[in-house]
Structure 1
Amino acid sequence: MRTKQQLTEDIRRERRAVLVVNAKSRRGRQFYEDAHERLLKAGFKLLGAYAVERDLEQSLQQAIDLGPDLLVAGGGDGTISTAGRMLAHRDMALGLLPLGTTNNFARTVGIPPDLDTAVTTMTEGLVIDVDLGIAGDMPFTNHVGIGLSAEVMTSVPSGLKKRLGRLAYPITALGLMARHRPLRATVRADGREIVFSTHQVYVANGGFHAGRPITADAHADDRLLVAYPVGGSTRLELLRETARNALTGHRRTLHERPFLAVNELWLETDRPAAVEVDGEPCGQTPLRIALDANALRIMAPPGTPDH
């Protein structure tokens, strides 16, 4: 494995890259040609370029087999998480083109949903190591959702996502909420056992959820998972806490309730509950969630935390 500095220098000097864009993501099809052109203008030698309608993992594997220094992945959090999982512990960096609905992981590492900024990051940024979470045996970049959010992810219409972006999720959630029963969830970590009744539990590796900050001090390389319920057993509490999280996350810290910041936890519920990992269905509870520290190399803006 090259050092981070060596890989950074090789990317800047050689510009050997592969582009993989999920054309099914919210802005993927629209921006594939634009991203391709911008990368070429920036001096990158594209060993391959893929606009993927299906078989994303197969295309990513083909891209990896070409042996680039930089794999540029375009899409939403599900696409980035899949690419991150496949690049874990490889001598290759991930470049982010945030083309999805919420782009949580890209926001966590300081890359806004703007092609110019994303490409500039790949030409002027630095290779850093970030943590991955592991839900069961599934690595992930950003978050695990248990309960209502998992049902929303499998129910939100793709056409609604493309038309309304982030608003598609709360609209779908409102439709499902009327018949959703609260969960009795138990979290065990660091010798503690915490029990609560809620409709929704999140475990975050990154610092953003639904395009908004979770807390002011959570980031992708802090060696911490952040577990927290959203509201209590009533639907009113769920709505109130969802709004509070969206409006005040940038002012809150990991030391406040209800956040539990640990590096490993066991989560179970009073009945099997659906689980989603970065927007993709991933089985049911009970579930062990842990960290794989410094597992993934990415191109990030200068100044991004890197420990």
Structure 2
Amino acid sequence: MRSKIELQDAIHRARRAVLIVNTHSRRGRRLYEVVRGRLAAEGFHLLGCFPVENTERLPGQLAAAIALDPDLLVAGGGDGTVSEAARHLAHRDIALGVLPLGTTNNFARALAVPHRPAGALGVLTGGKVADVDLGQAGETIFANHANVGLSAQVGEAVPARLKRHIGKSAYPLTAVARLLRHRPFRARITAGGDEYEVVTHQLNIVNGRFQAGRPITSDATVDDRVLHVFPVGGPRRRQLLSASLRQAFAGQRQPTAPPFLATDDLTVETDPPLPLDVDGEVHGRTPIRVRLLPNALRVMVAPSFVDN
């Protein structure tokens, strides 16, 4: 593994990169050619370009892109695309460049990557390499979150048309609609030798500061070496209904305590066993161990990004 400075110098000097864009994402299809042209104009030697319309092909296309041995892999799409790229690049000597083309763009927000393509491309051309954390739930690596409860249903049910029209507010609004049929569950969390118990509709385990496009706490970062754990709402539907409406219309999120934990290793058990939403896809069921992978991913960030 090269040092961060060595990899950064290689990116700026040789500009050996691959581009992979989810052209099925909200803006991917429209911006793919624009991004490819801009990278070429900035002097990047594109070893391969991979527009991905069918997301089931994304893992194979990422493997093909990595096999070209680039210094930089530019991933354009939403959180699902970026998370899949992060899984493939974990512990590799390749930097991830993020082009946020999705709805919530949690990981891009955590990296302070500008939402507009021009600003994000500026990070690729003039930024630096930083090391950031990832999480792992069971055998699945994640960039943003591992959640138990309502979100596993919401991620599958949120209408694509609603996402296109109103963006990230589509998620809490869909949660409100699904809530009438959702039952609360009991979760037992073990961390650092302590046990916590909560009855809730939703338990979130978040890497970084953002969930569903909103900040969850003021002092979390994507390289602070901890995962943040909190329930949303309580055993009563009206508590989660209130939290979801605040998030949808006012952009406010108020974590519920207890518990509100910052830890690098925990086990979650639920009654009954429930599926796990890992960055928008269902991977495994409770009980499950979730742990932090510190400094697991190299990313391109703006020079002003504070690299811990």
**Alpha-carbon displacement from aligned partner over 1:126-171 (angstroms, at most 9, x marks no partner):** 1011111001110000111110011111112223322332122123
In 2: Cα distance, 1:133 partner to 1:153 partner: 19
Runs of 4+ with deviation above 6 angstroms:
none
In 2: Cα distance, 1:6 partner to 1:277 partner: 33
Give the partner amino acid of 2:18.
V
1:259 and 2:249 equivalent?
A: no
C-alpha contact (below 8 Å) 2:209/2:222 kept by paired residues: yes
In 1: Cα distance, 2:245 partner to 2:179 partner: 15
- Which one of the candidate residues 81, 84, 87 is aligned to 1:85? 87
What residue is the counterpart of 1:295 in the other structure?
A: 296
Where does structure 1 lack aligned partners over 5 or more consecutive residues? Answer: none
In 2: Cα distance, 1:199 partner to 1:132 partner: 25
What residue is the counterpart of 2:169 in the other structure?
A: 167
C-alpha contact (below 8 Å) 1:216/1:253 kept by paired residues: no
C-alpha contact (below 8 Å) 2:179/2:241 kept by paired residues: no
C-alpha contact (below 8 Å) 2:176/2:244 kept by paired residues: no
What residue is the counterpart of 2:123 in the other structure?
A: 121
C-alpha contact (below 8 Å) 1:151/1:274 kept by paired residues: no
Alignment of 1:61-80 (within 5 A): 61-80=63-82
What residue is the counterpart of 2:104 in the other structure?
A: 102
In 1: Cα distance, 2:288 partner to 2:222 partner: 21
In 1: Cα distance, 2:301 partner to 2:175 partner: 33
Alignment of 1:1-307 (within 5 A): 1-54=1-54, 55-242=57-244, 247-248=251-252, 258-307=259-308
3-state DSSP of counterpart to 1:123 = helix
Give the partner amino acid of 2:13.
R
**Alpha-carbon displacement from aligned partner over 1:159-189 (angstroms, at most 9, x marks no partner):** 3322332122123212211010001111110
In 1: Cα distance, 2:279 partner to 2:149 partner: 14
Note closer, same or farther for the CA distance 1:265–1:208 as it changes in structure 2 (3 Å cut). same
Give the partner amino acid of 2:175.
A
3-state DSSP of counterpart to 2:5 = helix
**Alpha-carbon displacement from aligned partner over 1:217-265 (angstroms, at most 9, x marks no partner):** 111100000000001011111123345667455xx899x8542000010
- Taking structure 2 as the reference length, the TM-score comes to 0.94
Query: What is the CA-CA distance between 1:274 and the residue it aligns to?
Result: 2.2
> How many matched pairs?
304
C-alpha contact (below 8 Å) 1:153/1:281 kept by paired residues: no
C-alpha contact (below 8 Å) 2:196/2:259 kept by paired residues: no
3-state DSSP of counterpart to 2:43 = coil
In 2: Cα distance, 1:175 partner to 1:218 partner: 30
Larger mean CA deviation between 127-136 and 272-281 belongs to 272-281
C-alpha contact (below 8 Å) 1:217/1:253 kept by paired residues: no
C-alpha contact (below 8 Å) 1:225/1:262 kept by paired residues: yes
- Taking structure 1 as the reference length, the TM-score comes to 0.94
Residue identity (%): 52
Give the partner amino acid of 2:3.
T
C-alpha contact (below 8 Å) 2:226/2:263 kept by paired residues: yes
C-alpha contact (below 8 Å) 1:186/1:196 kept by paired residues: yes
C-alpha contact (below 8 Å) 1:8/1:126 kept by paired residues: yes
In 1: Cα distance, 2:215 partner to 2:258 partner: 16
Give the partner amino acid of 1:75.
G
Where does structure 2 lack aligned partners over 5 or more consecutive residues? Answer: none
Query: What is the CA-CA distance between 1:211 and the residue it aligns to?
Result: 1.0
C-alpha contact (below 8 Å) 1:16/1:46 kept by paired residues: yes
In 2: Cα distance, 1:139 partner to 1:87 partner: 10
C-alpha contact (below 8 Å) 1:129/1:294 kept by paired residues: yes
In 2: Cα distance, 1:240 partner to 1:129 partner: 37
In 2: Cα distance, 1:253 partner to 1:187 partner: 16
